[in-house]
Amino acid sequence: MTREDIEFNGEGGVTLRGWFYPAQNTTTPAPVVVLTHGMSGVKEMYLDEYASVFAEAGLNALVYDHRNFGDSDGSPRQELDPVLQVRDYRNAITYATTRPEVDKARVGAWGTSFSGGIALMVAAIDRRVKAVVAQVPMISGPATLDRLIRPDFLPHVRGNLDADRLNRFAGGEPAMLPAVSADPMGQAAMPQPDAYEWFTKVSLDRAPNWKNEITARSLEMAGEFDPGSFIAQISPTPLLMVIADEDACTPYALAFDAYERAREPKQLVVTHGGHFDFYEGPGFDEVSAAARDHFVKHLRA
């Protein structure tokens, strides 16, 4: 499928880079869906497959790397700042609406994992978004960390974060953590075994520019981010939430609770599998079709 390499200014003038997929088999201007990846992920990690599904359905698709990751500029490298990611996402929408192929009145937001939370937040505060899909979304940083970090590990983790903050305050380099680890008891941003298996496999197969590291401060800032607290504000924008019944990375119980707090119009897809089972194979076919149909219904109608 044809795509165009693009770049645009994120918050503060940082250059963000990605791809634009023109809508197929339709007249222009056409709707647009903005997509970006989760924690440490880069666009080569199957976002091209989702964008192709949307483009084939008559939707423009704009994919980009977060600041500090992949092909986008920004420093410190490998640092996840959710506040800036929300603002960059809104800049991506602005850039998309300046393109002649795009109908600026029909914008969709799509996110997966951590960026599922970003998409929820953007849809709640930016009324340019007319439909949103949150796939296995990160609902609450505080609640997720409470569930995923053993209580007896917390003092050690907090001590390390405090030491990193002091070091950076004094001008030192940021401390780094592995994004994933082969040792489920080891220190990593995503210590789950399926996270290690997926990221290492996909980085070898199709994303050689992915790096298995993230700043320690990223974990701290992720723990401050609580997009689920905004979910009731998404209405009247139509919401589709995709939840996996074996998700060990973004706890599905938090997603179910958030969905209950969301107002209509809303739709829930509960699918069988773990957090990383939806980027290829039958899982991908199921959830990409659900997202495609949601956007076609609410953006092309």
- Alpha-carbon distance 139 to 237, whole Å? 18
Q: How many helices (H) and strands (E) does the chain have?
A: 9, 10
CB–CB of 46/118 below 8 Å?
no
Q: What number does CATH give the domain 4-300?
A: 3.40.50.1820
Asked if residue 81 has pLDDT above 90, the reply is yes
Residue type, 236: P
The torsion angles phi and psi of 290, rounded to 5 degrees, stand at -65, -45
Whether this model's pTM surpasses 0.75? yes
Is residue 188 predicted with pLDDT exceeding 90? no
Percent share of the chain, pLDDT over 70: 97
> Could you give phi then psi for residue 214, rounded to 5 degrees?
-155, 145
Give the per-residue pLDDT at 146: 74
| pLDDT tens figures, 126-175 | 999 999 999 999 999 988 877 766 666 667 777 778 888 898 899 999 99
- Which one is predicted more confidently, 165 or 292? 292
What are the tens digits of pLDDT across the range 248-280? 899 999 999 999 999 999 999 999 999 999 999
Cα separation, 167 vs 93, in Å, equals 36
What integer best gives the mean pLDDT of the chain?
A: 94
The string of pLDDT tens digits covering residues 14-37 is 999 999 999 999 988 999 999 999
Question: What is the pLDDT, as a whole number, of residue 187?
Answer: 81
Closest alpha carbon to 253 in 151, 140, 149: 140
Domains of the chain by residue range? 4-300
pLDDT for 51-62, tens place per residue?
999 999 999 999
